[in-house]
Every structure is written in structure tokens, then in C-alpha cells.
Amino acid sequence: MNKELEHSFVTNLEQNQNIVHKVCRIYTNDADSHKDLFQEITIQLWKAYPKFRGDAKFSTWMYRVSLNTAITLYRKSKRSIKTSDFDSMDFKIKAEEYDDEVEQQLKLMYAAVKQLNDIEKALVFLYLEDKSYREIAETMGISEVNARVKMNRVKTKLKKILNP
Amino acid sequence: MDELELLKKDWKKQEEGLPKLSYDEIYRMILKKSSSIVKWIFVISILEFILWASIDVIARLSGKYQEAETLGMENFFMISTIISYGVLVYFIVRFYLNYRKIKVTDSAKVLMQNILNTRKTVKYYVWINLTVIGLLIISTTLYMLFFSNELADSLDGKEVPVGLIIVAAIVMAIIFVGFLALIYRLIYGILTRRLKQNYKELQKLEV
């Protein structure tokens, strides 16, 4: 039974690992921390897995556990986030697909997102993942109205970071 | 165009560049131990319970209580023993029940609330202990001052104003409790700072 559970969990996670990697990208700044956070999320997912009923989609359930680990359970290393760190990060912007101006703008956008606080990052992440406000509200434990209000504030904050 | 929309478009393309872990790599990860904040809070809290309970036991074994008994305080110690163990059991049960409530599958807010509640339970317990120790230092001094000759004997008949002794006892109590409180704040400050910040950030939204 345990082996079966292990197998179904690892298979599920292997197929859906992108979600966890993306959370790690938003919340960490280097490959080591990325690995650390991925490891912790995996453990938390595995610990919660026996209670996963399958009434929700595995991926939906993963969003919640991954974000909770990143903003609540994970003890971040002391490294502070500097804008200059961004260059060493592995967001690959494909030069052939964008003109210079757009490419530059994207780079600045990613750097701006990195400057947001943990909660704001979670909202942006869910927004980028195309989640509805209802889902965002449920994941964070706030009302839908508040999720909208907060999202608008985050957008304003991002604009301010980009155009000081 | 909205900057965030531009980002959203690019975000999808980022998927190609994400690391890919193999089945075996993921499997190895589930065998490792968690180092989450909940685990640390749990371990430190248990250590706290053990620490405060063992101070009591050590005081008993080392004969400090007999000393107090000869001072005529045995009834007082009897009652305080019953109360202190009652309080300890109450807090351990509360702590355990709170700890059981922590579920990573709750919403972020509920999860944070539950972790902070577990923390709070132990915090109250430690504060009760610190207060008791402070009061004990002061009350023992007062008792010896007014109801026994212990203190007078140890002073060798030197004249020391009563007020000075009381003030000294209070200062000693404050220093001792303050010192422990400082260590305490340091340990948990480091551990829960980010959690508290994030919780406040979510709470701000509700106003």
C-alpha cells in the first residue's frame, strides 16, 4: 500500500513539477535556494498526500501546498534580494522572439516582481497562472473583493517600481 | 498594454526553461526530513516544556525545597507544586491540540493563524513561568525579611535599610526575567519574523 502511494505520488508530482518550479522561481534567487524550496515543498506535498482525496485536481491542490510552503513554512536563507541578482537568475528571455525594447521591459518586470513582498508575490504568481479571483481568494484565505483590491494595489506598486 | 499582461504572456514561455527532475530524484526527496518552521517551533516548544518542568525537578532533588520548608513555607510549596503541574499539563494539551490543527492544505491565512496560535500557547506558558519566578524572588525576600531571622543572620547584624533590600530584590527579579525574556525574543524573533510579517500583510487587507 505504502509503495503504491509513493508511486502514485511521485508520478503525479513528476508530471506536475512545473508548478513547484515556478513557485521556486518567484520566491528564490539562486539555484541552491531553488533546490531547497523544491525539496521542502515536495516533503510537504508528500506529508499531505494521504489526505488528498482526489476530489480536487492534483494540480489545484499543489498550488495551495506549494504557496503555503513558500510563504509560511519555508525558512528563507538570509540573502536579501537585490536587483542586481536578477542578472544571474535563470529567466531566459529569448532574444529572437522579442524586440529589444520589449525584452528590456520584461527584464525590468521580473526584477520588479522580485521586489514585492511574499503575499504580493503569491497574488502575482496566481494571476500569471491564470487563476480566477475566486481561486486566488480561496488559496490565500481572503475574500474575493479583497483579492481584487489587493491585486490592483500590486499592479500600482509594480508600475511605481518600474517608473519611479 | 498592461505590463502585467505582457509578463503573463512571457510567463507561459518560461516553462520551457524550467528544470526537469526525474522520477528517482523526486523519490529521493520524499525520504528526506522537513526543515519547516513548524517543525522548529514544535521542537523548541517541547524543549521549553522540558526546561521549565526540569527546573522544578532539579530544585526538588537538590534539596532547595527542603531548605524552604525549614523556613516554614511548606504549605505554600505544596499548593504551588499542584498548580504548576496542573498548568504544565493544561498547556501541553492545548499545545498538542493546536499543533494538530496545522494543515498545509488550509488557506494561507488559516495556516498562519494556526501556527501563530501554537506559538502563542507556549509563549503564555513561558511568561507565566517568568512571572512566577520574578514574584518568587521578591516574595521570598520579603518573607525572610519579616518572618524569619535567616536574612538578619546572614547580614551579620549590619544595619541595612529595609527599603534597600526590597528594591534590590525587585531589581534582581527584573534583571533575571528581563534576561530570559530577551533570549526568548531572540530565538522566536528570528524564527517567526517572516511569518508574522506575512500574516500582518494578509490581515491588513481585511480592514
Nearest to B6 among A109, A130, A155 (CB): A109
**B22 to chain A nearest CA, in Å?**
7
pTM of structure: 0.80
B149 in A contact zone (CB under 8 Å): no
Residues B90-139: pLDDT tens digits? 998 999 999 999 998 899 999 999 999 988 888 888 888 888 888 888 88
**A83 to chain B nearest CA, in Å?**
17
Distances (CA, A) of A59 to A9, A142, B145: 12, 21, 70
Alpha carbon dihedral A40, A45, A48, A50, in 10-degree steps, equals -130
Confidence of residue B70 (pLDDT cuts 50, 70, 90): low
Q: Which CATH number fits domain A1-77: 3.30.750.210, 1.10.10.1150, 3.40.605.10, 1.10.1740.10?
A: 1.10.1740.10
Per-residue pLDDT, A146: 92
Residues B189-206: pLDDT tens digits? 888 888 888 888 888 876
- What are the structural domain ranges in chain A? 1-77, 91-164
Q: Find the closest chain B residue to A36 by CA distance.
A: B35
Which CATH architecture is the domain A91-164 placed in?
Orthogonal Bundle (1.10)
Phi/psi region, residue B21 (left: phi>0; alpha: psi -120 to 50; beta: rest), is beta
User: Looking at the predicted structure, is the pLDDT value of residue A7 above 90?
Assistant: yes
Averaged confidence pLDDT in chain A: 84
What interface predicted TM-score (ipTM) does this complex get? 0.79
Among A33-42, A50-59, A75-84, B132-141, top mean pLDDT goes to: A33-42
Per-residue pLDDT, A10: 94
A91-164: same fold as A1-77? Answer: no
Averaged confidence pLDDT in chain B: 82
State the DSSP H helix or E strand holding residue A138, giving kind and residue range, or none if neither: helix A133-140
How much of chain B, in percent, has pLDDT values that exceed 70? 86
- For residue A116 the three cell numbers come to 514585492
Nearest to A62 by CA among B12, B110, B105: B105
